[in-house]
Amino acid sequence: MKKIVQQCLLACLLQVMLYNSAVAQYTLADSLWLQRMGTYTMTSSRAYDDLRVLCKEIGHRLSGSPQSLKAVEWAVDVLKKAGADTVWTQPVMVPVWERGEEYLKVGTEGKQDKVEALSLGNMHGTDGKEVKAPLVMFRSLEELRAANAALIQGKIVFLNVPFPAEELNTFAAYSRVYRIRTQSAGIVCAKGGVGVIIRSISTTKDEVPHTGAAHYPDTACRIPAMAIGNTTADALALAMSTGTGTVTAVMMAHCKMKGMALSYNVIGELRGAKHKDKYMLVGGHLDSWDVGEGAHDDGAGCVQAIQVLRNFKALKHRPAHTLRVVMFMNEENGNRGGAAYADSAVSRKEHHIFALESDAGGFTPRGIGLIVPEQDRRQVQSWAPLLEPFGLYDFKQEGCGVDISPLKNTGVRAGELLPDSQRYFDIHHCRHDVLEAVNERELNLGAAGITALLYLIDRYWN
Amino acid sequence: MKKIVQQCLLACLLQVMLYNSAVAQYTLADSLWLQRMGTYTMTSSRAYDDLRVLCKEIGHRLSGSPQSLKAVEWAVDVLKKAGADTVWTQPVMVPVWERGEEYLKVGTEGKQDKVEALSLGNMHGTDGKEVKAPLVMFRSLEELRAANAALIQGKIVFLNVPFPAEELNTFAAYSRVYRIRTQSAGIVCAKGGVGVIIRSISTTKDEVPHTGAAHYPDTACRIPAMAIGNTTADALALAMSTGTGTVTAVMMAHCKMKGMALSYNVIGELRGAKHKDKYMLVGGHLDSWDVGEGAHDDGAGCVQAIQVLRNFKALKHRPAHTLRVVMFMNEENGNRGGAAYADSAVSRKEHHIFALESDAGGFTPRGIGLIVPEQDRRQVQSWAPLLEPFGLYDFKQEGCGVDISPLKNTGVRAGELLPDSQRYFDIHHCRHDVLEAVNERELNLGAAGITALLYLIDRYWN
């Protein structure tokens, strides 16, 4: 009990010390502005209309593809129309990977049937020839790493690792298994295997495969790697554990890397009223995988970032610091856009007071991930009463988006929108990532939440 | 500053006084149990499979319909299979309303075209004849109430009231406008109007009409009342404000009330280990509207309640108090099930320590609405660290479900699951309320969250 009293008195003292800053952490005027902004966003946002054009008129847009350049033109045009003071493109060299025709057949000798499959990104494929080999199954990357090469030599490895459904946060689940996709080809190569099939990193019980970036650790490795959907993986595992004949796969894929190409980040600015040389960045990535429409990943983040600028314009609020809306290129298979932006910021000695990304889907908001000093996190937490109406209550997590990471690594305070995570890996990197999977109100609530946070940061940070 | 110090010291004193209870509000064992339960629910829940059967094999199930009785049989069977110690049905007399064939045409003289429309529930229709009359439009219920009867006499009223999109909580929006649906027929009747068309209370921009309960305040009123989708309402309003001819509607509907019928609440018990005569209730409603599949409203709540029982069984946790899973009948157009349950509880002098409903959709959880004494609310808030992993952070709101209300009115502490509200009025009472609109992980997270709350209430309440 004595300890409790001591702790309590200490807390009391701290509270008194924080008195001046604590009571000044926001004003009634802030509260009223945020309320007006919320109303405006929920009734007049153009974010969903923007997303419709990006998804339906341009579609998917892998870096280096003709569509990705159309998306650049679209972004320039939309930012201009949204009222940015300046809009420009920032050159970025990006890898060009093309899928081409591909198929996968599985079955026992003499009877292999086609199943839905997608080559993993950045992989080489089979040069259009069929690679046929018996399958060997592993249940984890550790099991694969520990396996004797003799078991794998000449075989196609089936990595049958289920999504960790027990993780209540699906991004935590993803972080436990994404290396299945990125690293398996390298490990299988090193042990003499001739191909890789992975169970998609997906929360849905269907046959839909999910692609995503993979890499070869050395140039000698060129084996094909494909993903299959959860129900296909279940059927394949069953056939391998109960069937009588050897289960064999036939892989054919034309996919390959085709060097580098010139592409662009797209940047729009709303000049600050007081500190025009200090920047608040809000962004998403313009590229997507070459399936679906890149609606949640990350069309949603792009249109939300544009909507922040529109909200400020519509409410005639010129921020003190310059707002930069950045649509990055090549998050999916290289992160060259994020790196190019950070390089430029360093070389131009640009001062960013904060950078925020929305790249976890256009779902209803829950929190803001932050990589900032503790005192700044506490200040964001002090704004909770203003942010909770937008669904934002969780300010404990660490994190910023992939595109923002290089800038964060230069010491810039960074963060990310944390929407509800339950549905994200239903649609991630697959043909389900289309406009129809985005809910307009959820998307707008995210845009409003980001606007609210940036408004407060603009008012109270330097 | 002096005042702050005083307040702080007072708070400090209170904190010390609360010390004993505060630190005993949960244990490490609770935390570990909830973690195991979360894992079990997210990996092994049968809630979505239950919902598939209810939606796809039975379908929609308005009280008094043959399907509603099939749903009663289904519920008895599922509760038995889930391992309830006792399962029984509780008789309830319910109103029987049948839709039958119906159509709505709108247009100018000589050219009326059919548009998608649904009669409102409990309305009488036109006895199969066509009711044709010019339209007069109002923008609010207040405007309608204030209107001169001469303007409405012999006309069909079009109540064109948009969903208040600016409300960040859609249930708050709904509470502002649902009387458009429930009261307009009565008001129009009293002013001599011959029919009502309302803009659906819906967040989607499509032609899909949303039905729901309405009522006539006196038996003399029998005018038809229908809902049209948002885009149909937009087109109609445009035609009325810009067209040259008189805009006329033709209504035809066979719908009518057909007296009362016998139906049932379904109740399953898991007997308490210590206090078998004290009950914790968890429930949803088994009936639905006669369109869609009643998936979110409220198949989701039913299968979540059943899953609570399954979770306790699977983890071999017999609660101290008796758990009652109740699937109520007739929430949609009468709430006779909720009333019958409360009547029975009073006449049998049953002691309920808490009653919780899930009837706000199977979306990802955000909070628990409560109608309890302040000290109990504070205790629930003290459990926040255990509940937040399930998405539950908001324990400030007042509320319980419609079915639970009669029991709450007898003095029982009550509450409701508050899932994310953004998508609910996309699907509410319309053909979009189907299994495919429910996300399995979101549904399971809700079931886990309810289980967590009831586990703690069972441990710490009496």
Count how many residues are written for chain A: 462
Per the CB < 8 A criterion, the answer to whether B452 and B386 are in contact is yes
**What is the domain range of residue A326?**
23-93+260-460
Contact assignment for A391 to B168 by CB distance below 8 Å: yes
Interface A-B: count of C-beta contacts within 8 A:
94
CB count within 10 Å of CB B129 equals 11
Same domain, A138 and A63: no
Report chain A residues touching chain B, CB-CB < 8 A: 1, 4-5, 8-9, 11-12, 15-16, 19, 38-39, 42-43, 165-168, 170, 203, 205, 364, 366, 388-391, 393-394, 420, 422-423, 426, 439-442, 445, 448
Could you say which of A224, A240, A258 is where a domain stops? A258
Same domain, A85 and A140: no
Same domain, A432 and A317: yes
Per-residue model confidence as pLDDT tens digits over B278-293: 999 999 999 999 999 9
Could you say which of B254, B270, B285 is where a domain stops? B254
According to DSSP, residue B246 is labeled P
CA distance A408 to chain B (A): 28
Percent share of chain B, pLDDT over 90: 93
State how far Cα A179 lies from the chain centre.
Answer: 16
Contact assignment for B19 to A1 by CB distance below 8 Å: yes
**Residue B5 within any structural domain of the chain:** no
Contact assignment for A165 to B364 by CB distance below 8 Å: no
Q: And the tokens for B93?
A: 């007399």
Same domain, B159 and B226: yes
Query: Residue ranges of chain A with pLDDT lower than 50?
Result: 1-5, 8-23
Q: And the tokens for B260?
A: 């009362």
What region does A435 belong to: left with phi over 0, alpha with psi -120 to 50, or beta?
Answer: alpha
Please return the burial class of A348, using the count of CB atoms within 10 Å of its CB with bins 0-12, 13-18 and 19+. Answer: exposed
Residue A271 CA to residue A311 CA, distance in Å, equals: 14
Torsion of CA A373, A379, A381, A385, to 10 degrees: -160
Q: Can you tell me which residue has the tokens 């399907």?
A: B67
Over residues B133-150, mean pLDDT:
98
Per the CB < 8 A criterion, the answer to whether B16 and B434 are in contact is no
The closest of B323, B325, B321 to B273, measured between CA atoms, is: B321
Write out A80-123 in H/E/C secondary structure: HHHCCCEEEEEEEEEEEEECCCEEEEEEECCEEEEECEEECECC
CA distance A160 to chain B (A): 17
Nearest to B420 among A11, A16, A420 (CB): A420
DSSP A18-40: THHHHHTS--HHHHHHHHHHHHH
Q: How many CA atoms, within 13 angstroms, populate the side-chain half-sphere of residue B258? A: 14
Contact assignment for A43 to B166 by CB distance below 8 Å: yes
Nearest to A166 among B11, B12, B42 (CB): B42
**Residue B233 within any structural domain of the chain:** yes
CB contacts of A168 in chain B (<8 Å) are 38, 42, 389-391, 445, 448
**Residue A66 within any structural domain of the chain:** yes
CB contacts of B5 in chain A (<8 Å) are 12, 16
Residue B10 has pLDDT above 70, yes or no: no
Same domain, B365 and B438: yes
Contact assignment for B166 to A42 by CB distance below 8 Å: yes
CA distance A442 to chain B (A): 6
> Which residues have CB under 8 Å from A150's CB, separation 6+?
none
According to DSSP, residue A330 is labeled -
Contact assignment for B1 to A16 by CB distance below 8 Å: yes
β-bridge partners, A327? A266, A284
CA distance A393 to chain B (A): 8
CB count within 10 Å of CB B385 equals 10
Q: Report the alpha-carbon angle B28-B34-B36, nearest 5.
A: 105
Contact assignment for A4 to B12 by CB distance below 8 Å: no
**Residue B11 within any structural domain of the chain:** no
Q: And the tokens for B115?
A: 């548009």
Contact assignment for A39 to B166 by CB distance below 8 Å: yes
Task: Give the SS3 label for residue B451.
Answer: helix
Task: Give the SS3 label for residue B122.
Answer: coil
pLDDT at res. A110: 80
The closest of B414, B415, B400, B368 to B387, measured between CA atoms, is: B368
**Residue A17 within any structural domain of the chain:** no
Per-residue model confidence as pLDDT tens digits over B166-196: 999 999 999 999 999 999 999 999 999 999 9
Nearest residue of A to residue B170 by CA position? A441
pLDDT at res. A206: 97
CA distance A452 to chain B (A): 14
Over residues B429-443, mean pLDDT:
98
Residue A225 CA to residue A123 CA, distance in Å, equals: 7
CA pseudo-torsion sign B372, B375, B377, B383: negative
Residue B184 CA to residue B197 CA, distance in Å, equals: 9
pLDDT at res. A5: 46
Per the CB < 8 A criterion, the answer to whether B163 and B173 are in contact is yes
Per the CB < 8 A criterion, the answer to whether B136 and B153 are in contact is no
Name the H helices within B195-347: 230-242, 300-314, 336-347
Residue B182 CA to residue A270 CA, distance in Å, equals: 48
CB contacts of A441 in chain B (<8 Å) are 165, 170, 203, 422-423
Residue B143, domain CATH = 3.50.30.30
Task: Give the SS3 label for residue A293.
Answer: coil
Over residues B417-425, mean pLDDT:
98
CA distance A193 to chain B (A): 32
pLDDT at res. B14: 46
**Residue A18 within any structural domain of the chain:** no
Contact assignment for A38 to B8 by CB distance below 8 Å: no
Same domain, B46 and B186: no
Strand pairing category for A321-328 and A256-270: antiparallel
The closest of A385, A367, A378 to A21, measured between CA atoms, is: A378
> Which residues have CB under 8 Å from B346's CB, separation 6+?
B410
Contact assignment for B4 to A12 by CB distance below 8 Å: no
Per the CB < 8 A criterion, the answer to whether A308 and A356 are in contact is no
Best residue in B1, B5, B7, B12 for a mutation probing chain A (most A CBs within 10 Å): B12
The closest of A248, A188, A197 to A222, measured between CA atoms, is: A188
CB contacts of A19 in chain B (<8 Å) are 1, 4
ipTM: 0.94
> Which residues have CB under 8 Å from B412's CB, separation 6+?
B345, B352, B354, B355
Residue B458 CA to residue B462 CA, distance in Å, equals: 8
**Residue A10 within any structural domain of the chain:** no
Best residue in B169, B420, B427 for a mutation probing chain A (most A CBs within 10 Å): B420
Give the mean pLDDT of chain B.
95
pLDDT at res. A14: 45
pLDDT tier, B235 (very low <50, low <70, confident <90, very high otherwise): very high
CB count within 10 Å of CB A172 equals 11
DSSP B201-220: S-SS-SS-----B---SSTT
CA distance B74 to chain A (A): 25
CB contacts of A442 in chain B (<8 Å) are 422-423
Same domain, B233 and B183: yes
Same domain, A89 and A124: no
Per-residue model confidence as pLDDT tens digits over A375-420: 999 999 999 999 999 999 999 999 999 999 999 999 999 999 999 9
Residue A403 CA to residue A285 CA, distance in Å, equals: 7
DSSP B2-31: HHHHHHHHHHHHHHHHTHHHHHTS--HHHH
Residue A35, domain CATH = 3.40.630.10
Q: Report the alpha-carbon angle B296-B297-B302, nearest 5.
A: 85
Residue B450 CA to residue B282 CA, distance in Å, equals: 8
Give me Rg for the CA atoms of chain B: 24
pLDDT at res. B8: 46
Task: Give the SS3 label for residue B227.
Answer: strand
Q: And the tokens for A276?
A: 């025009």
The closest of B127, B122, B210, B218 to B174, measured between CA atoms, is: B210
CB count within 10 Å of CB A245 equals 12
pLDDT at res. B13: 44
Same domain, A84 and A40: yes
Nearest to A8 among B5, B15, B388 (CB): B15
Same domain, B269 and B342: yes
Could you say which of A208, A225, A258 is where a domain stops? A258
CA distance A40 to chain B (A): 7
Same domain, A206 and A84: no
Same domain, A163 and A228: yes
Q: And the tokens for A318?
A: 């010129």
State how far Cα A223 lies from the chain centre.
Answer: 27
pLDDT at res. B17: 44
Count of domains observed in chain B: 2
**Residue B9 within any structural domain of the chain:** no
Residue B158 CA to residue B199 CA, distance in Å, equals: 8
